[in-house]
């Protein structure tokens, strides 16, 4: 409001103009003027959600199938590679691809879906231009552990797209020091098929981040006593924390005790939860480095063929690791 306009309005406050309501305004001009710092607004935008607009594809014979949202028409149905389930070579990205992590992660927002866009970019480059997915070559030794800790400290994609994106480390060979191909930012539900396309019987590890599934509402703002400082109970961590999963396709398939959407889900051959840290600092020797090293020491000499019992951390009791 300009100075001139304010003066003019002040003079009119006690006239009929003061009693009038401008279109779409709930307050009278007088009320608006006298409390202009708190109530002055010009337009109201009602943000009541959106539905997908299929008219964009007017000439397509079959409509793009939709799902999610209150009326089941919010997002296009897509594969884990962002491709329409009905229209090959039609891909969706941005908020439109949020069905992959709907009510789970940050893919409905720019800060999250930028990493999903990069994932699609890598997929398209691989599929149409035979350019390999970004990766590093490592041994199964110290450089592998260093890579994992470096990624835990610096990754943005795994952090923002928690529970959805993961790094995948494929153990290509165990000869000598071993060969590990370390791939960045893969959709975790797609990890097994991603590995199978490269090395069908290879063991692999994933690194991802997650919150406790029930970490919302009062738990976030209320009593902090449920956080713990015991690496043996790291799987009960609440705040965002790294999780490493080891899969051996030659080991017996076992299932998690908790269901996902009413279905049993296979559980990894072995699993490591890094103890939560509210400052995102994983450098405590006793709480973080030693447990991680002990876990990797189990995998280094030979494949694990017998799946761990769920949340078994008896291996943490071994004492050996050097500082």
Ligand X SMILES: Cc1cc2nc3c(=O)[nH]c(=O)nc-3n(C[C@H](O)[C@H](O)[C@H](O)COP(=O)(O)OP(=O)(O)OC[C@H]3O[C@@H](n4cnc5c(N)ncnc54)[C@H](O)[C@@H]3O)c2cc1C
Is the CB of residue 148 less than 8 Å from the CB of residue 293? no
CB of 133 or CB of 209, closer to ligand X? 209
What is the DSSP secondary structure assignment for residue 77, as one 8-state letter? Answer: -
The span from the first CA to the last CA of the chain, in angstroms, equals 65
What is the DSSP secondary structure assignment for residue 175, as one 8-state letter? Answer: S
Residue 36, both tokens: 């202009």
Q: Which of 94, 141, 178, 303 binds ligand X (CB under 6 A)?
A: 94
Q: d(Cα 28, Cα 213) in Å, to the nearest integer?
A: 48
Number of residues that bind ligand X (CB under 6 A): 9
What is the DSSP secondary structure assignment for residue 301, as one 8-state letter? Answer: S
Nearest distance from residue 45's CB to ligand X, in Å?
9
Residue 302, both tokens: 């030979």
What is the number of other CB atoms lying within 10 angstroms of the CB of residue 310? 13
CB of 84 or CB of 238, closer to ligand X? 84
Q: Kindly indicate which of the ranges 14-22, 66-74, 93-101, 303-311 contains the residues binding ligand X, using the contact rule CB under 6 A.
A: 93-101
Name the E strands within 237-298: 241-247, 254-260, 263-267, 270-273
Q: d(Cα 321, Cα 102) in Å, to the nearest integer?
A: 41
Q: d(Cα 317, Cα 224) in Å, to the nearest integer?
A: 28
Q: Which of 13, 34, 80, 95 binds ligand X (CB under 6 A)?
A: 95
Q: d(Cα 228, Cα 238) in Å, to the nearest integer?
A: 9
Q: Kindly indicate which of the ranges 81-89, 94-102, 182-190, 279-287 contains the residues binding ligand X, using the contact rule CB under 6 A.
A: 94-102
CB of 23 or CB of 53, closer to ligand X? 53
109 binds ligand X (CB under 6 A): yes
Nearest distance from residue 106's CB to ligand X, in Å?
8
48 binds ligand X (CB under 6 A): no
Is the CB of residue 314 less than 8 Å from the CB of residue 162? no
Q: Kindly indicate which of the ranges 106-114, 139-147, 262-270, 284-292 contains the residues binding ligand X, using the contact rule CB under 6 A.
A: 106-114
Nearest distance from residue 55's CB to ligand X, in Å?
7
Q: Cβ-closest residue to ligand X?
A: 94
CB of 159 or CB of 247, closer to ligand X? 159
Q: How many CA atoms lie within 13 A of 161 on its CB side?
A: 30
CB of 96 or CB of 269, closer to ligand X? 96
Nearest distance from residue 23's CB to ligand X, in Å?
24
60 binds ligand X (CB under 6 A): no
Nearest distance from residue 114's CB to ligand X, in Å?
8
Q: Which of 24, 37, 43, 56 binds ligand X (CB under 6 A)?
A: 56
59 binds ligand X (CB under 6 A): no
Q: Which of 42, 53, 175, 214 binds ligand X (CB under 6 A)?
A: 53
110 binds ligand X (CB under 6 A): yes
Q: d(Cα 58, Cα 139) in Å, to the nearest integer?
A: 53
Q: d(Cα 108, Cα 93) in Å, to the nearest integer?
A: 10
CB of 48 or CB of 323, closer to ligand X? 48
One DSSP character per residue, 256-268 reads EEEEETTEEEEE-
Q: Which residues bind ligand X (CB under 6 A)?
A: 53, 56, 94-96, 108-111
């Amino acid at each position: 409001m300009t100075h001139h306009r304010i003066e003019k309005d002040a003079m009119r406050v006690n006239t009929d103009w003061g009693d009038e309501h401008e279109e779409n305004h709930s307050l009278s001009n007088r009320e608006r003027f006298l409390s202009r710092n708190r109530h002055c607004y010009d337009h109201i935008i009602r943000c009541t959600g959106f539905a997908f607009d299929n008219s964009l594809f007017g000439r397509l014979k079959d409509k793009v199938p939709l799902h999610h949202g209150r009326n089941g028409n919010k997002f296009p149905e897509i594969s884990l590679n962002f491709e329409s389930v009905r229209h090959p070579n039609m891909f969706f990205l941005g908020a439109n691809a949020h069905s992959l992590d709907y009510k789970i992660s940050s893919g409905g927002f720019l800060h999250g879906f930028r990493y999903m866009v990069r994932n699609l970019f890598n997929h398209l480059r691989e599929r149409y231009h035979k350019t390999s997915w970004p990766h590093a070559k490592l041994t199964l030794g110290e450089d592998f552990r260093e890579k994992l800790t470096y990624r835990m400290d610096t990754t943005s994609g795994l952090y923002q797209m928690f529970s959805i994106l993961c790094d995948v480390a494929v153990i290509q060979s165990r000869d000598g020091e071993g060969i590990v191909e370390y791939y960045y930012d893969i959709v975790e539900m797609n990890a097994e098929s991603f590995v199978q396309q490269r090395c069908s019987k290879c063991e692999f590890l994933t690194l991802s981040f997650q919150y406790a599934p029930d970490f919302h509402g009062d738990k976030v703002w209320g009593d902090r006593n449920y956080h713990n400082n015991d690496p043996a109970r790291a799987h009960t961590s609440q705040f965002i924390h790294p999780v490493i999963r080891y899969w051996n396709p030659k080991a017996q398939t076992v299932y998690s005790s908790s269901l996902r959407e009413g279905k049993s889900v296979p559980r990894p051959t072995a699993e490591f939860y890094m103890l939560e840290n509210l400052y995102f600092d994983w450098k405590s020797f006793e709480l973080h480095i030693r447990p991680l090293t002990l876990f990797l020491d189990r995998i280094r000499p030979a494949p694990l063929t017998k799946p761990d019992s769920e949340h078994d951390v008896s291996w943490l009791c071994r004492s050996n690791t050097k500082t």
